[in-house]
Amino acid sequence: MALAIPIQMAIANRHVAKSDINTENIEALSDGDLQDLILSEWIRAKELDEKLHKMTTVLSVAVAIGGLVSTTMLQSVGGSTAKYVAIGLYLAATSLLVIGIALGFNGLLPKKRYGYGAAYMRNVATGGETARQVMIEAAREFERDNLIRSNETTAAVVSIRNGVLVFALGIGVNLYALATTELDAPQEPPIILVEAAVIARGG
């Protein structure tokens, strides 16, 4: 179920990329409102990109630390069903976290920007219907790309959240396996009792 989220995101983004954005609401805006909309979509695109960048950077470090912790804990546990369950959970958690990282890096790939540049400013400066159509086009394309960005961010966050939960469950099972191993281990008699037994036998 967790792995279905990235697949659904990929399908949805492919559909969004190929479909036409409804411009009815955009076309109803005044020129001033169109400029405000383009600016707000620009800011939104920047915020989504920054969120993905920070999340991907932190997660890359977290996966490395998590792998070290899980390996160390597993080495302290003998062969048991609980240990193999923990291994399976760690592998599942790592897969989900790696998917989250991959989605994050994919979201960081350069995307086309709109509403800037010499050609855009020149067309807007001319005024009239040409300027208006250029602004409508920029707003429409920005909405499409930001919807794709949003889907990528959501899928990455869901994958990371599920990975963290599965990893935490793996640690719980690992601790249970460790406690079980300690209880089943043969207990050596205390040194005082050993010495007392030796004295009783006459040294």
Distance between CA atoms of 154 and 88, rounded to whole angstroms?
Answer: 26
103: closest CA among 61, 138, 154? 154
Residues 94-132: pLDDT tens digits?
888 888 888 777 766 777 778 778 888 888 888 888 889
Amino acid at site 18: K
Residues 68-102: pLDDT tens digits?
777 777 776 666 787 788 888 888 888 888 888 88
Count of the separate structural domains present in the chain: 1
Residues 54-70: pLDDT tens digits?
777 777 777 777 777 77
Distance between CA atoms of 198 and 203, rounded to whole angstroms?
Answer: 5
- Mean pLDDT taken over the chain: 78
Structure tokens at 110: 């350069």
* Domain hosting residue 66, numbered range: 4-200
Q: Of the ranges 58-62, 87-91, 145-149, 169-173, which one carries the lowest mean pLDDT score? A: 58-62
Residues 28-38: pLDDT tens digits?
898 899 999 99
Task: Report the pLDDT value the prediction gives residue 113, as an integer from 0 to 100.
Answer: 76
Distance between CA atoms of 191 and 44, rounded to whole angstroms?
Answer: 69
Question: What angle, 0 to 180 degrees and rounded to 10, lies between the N-to-C axes of helices 4-18 and 128-184?
Answer: 170
Residues whose CB is less than 8 angstroms from the CB of residue 180 and which lie 6 or more positions away in sequence, other chains included: 80, 82
Task: Report the pLDDT value the prediction gives residue 1, as an integer from 0 to 100.
Answer: 55
DSSP state of 17: H
Structure tokens at 114: 């709109």
Task: Report the pLDDT value the prediction gives residue 189, as an integer from 0 to 100.
Answer: 47
Alpha helices for the chain (secondary structure H): 4-18, 24-27, 31-75, 81-107, 118-126, 128-184, 191-200
